[in-house]
Structure 1
């Protein structure tokens, strides 16, 4: 495990971190489940009541905390690489790919596989989608994205699709060093860049400019959320 575990709440961060770290050792055997939560609580000497207070929805909140810890660790490592000058020769698309690669390199494949099974359940599908969106957001933030309009949403929506596809490929990849996954990632990023190029050409055309002044003008008033609960954004007054 390489992630730095983060607490989902503020009541007792150290207890939450210890509980999550202990739970990760049980997930390969019992999945993200109540059995895992109970075993982890007993192992670190936390009462069932406190464990439930720290992770109210049990296994789901545990899995989400693990996922967020991975996002945070990716951002930390990406910042370290950038500070060392490792990204200076990279094109922007290559920086995006590098952030995605880092995010997967620090993850435990079996824990991610168990999480995918949990979030494939209908009652948890929205949590899984939110986790993928959160990773896309963390990646764009790590790259220093400053967009505050409709592009904030389109960037994250597009990258969420790429990230989700790459994760599924990576879970089944047994190539040396996951090289096949990184090649798949490069192809998906390439597809996105080609789409963005075509989109830019269309918007720069006379028809595109006309649409921007007419049917698409409302998009110009869309703004990025100012806080986590501010979705789907706001409009200028």
Structure 2
């Protein structure tokens, strides 16, 4: 049985294509779900904005279920990353709800929410794939994947190819770009002259640590899945 928050979110998805993630959609969803407005506002203090956040997090949860159910052992690591990003996009299902969310989180007042959600998705993917880095690489991995994920979503929103084949080809190209970048980093580390030039900055970066996974609402602050 869906809980109250899920009932409101499900009801909202019937209105978002027409009215966006707006107060109009929020009030209509609360009415359709038969929930006391006071209770609904307690669950979603900012109304439709918090509904949009909940919708994104629902997609993350669905993605993690798909990753857990898949057999990734025989895949190359880059293919695991591609699978995870694809699973996240396919978990969204409602393209118009995503489109409206993209518009909402592009607004300056809500841009920090949008950035936090994308970072959280990237963190969830890396954590699910077994990343244990706690140094500066923790940040670079998530920043890079955030760019790959967000650009692929934007491409997907305009993709009319059969079974989204153009989107998955676009995703493969973006991951290939990342792999070339990682290869270049490895070459720098292996070059005695260049690694010597980078020794100073590297010492500073060694002090950078990933945030504690204490369950806080900071990006990357969520505990590892049990």
Cα-Cα RMSD = 1.9
- Find the aligned partners of 1:66 and 1:100 in 2 and give their Cα distance: 17
The alpha-carbon distance between structure 1 residues 232 and 23, as it changes in their structure 2 partners (threshold 3 A), is: closer
1:90 lines up with 2:75 in the alignment: yes
Out of 58, 61, 68, the residue aligned to residue 69 of structure 1 is: 58
Q: So what's the TM-score if we normalise by structure 2?
A: 0.91
The CA deviation at 1:232 is: 9.2
Residue 30 of structure 2 corresponds to which residue in structure 1?
A: 41
Out of 173, 177, 184, the residue aligned to residue 159 of structure 2 is: 173
Deviations 1:52-80 (A, max 9, x none): 11011111110010001101110111110
- Find the aligned partners of 1:223 and 1:118 in 2 and give their Cα distance: 32
* Kept after mapping to 1: 8 A contact 2:9/2:51: yes
Q: Any stretches of 5+ residues in structure 1 without a counterpart?
A: 6-13
Q: Any stretches of 5+ residues in structure 2 without a counterpart?
A: 222-226
1:137 lines up with 2:137 in the alignment: no
Count of aligned positions: 218
Out of 173, 198, 201, the residue aligned to residue 184 of structure 2 is: 198
Runs of 4+ residues deviating >2 angstroms: 207-213, 227-233
Task: State the SS of the aligned residue for 2:110.
Answer: helix
Out of 101, 110, 130, the residue aligned to residue 86 of structure 2 is: 101
The alpha-carbon distance between structure 1 residues 67 and 231, as it changes in their structure 2 partners (threshold 3 A), is: closer
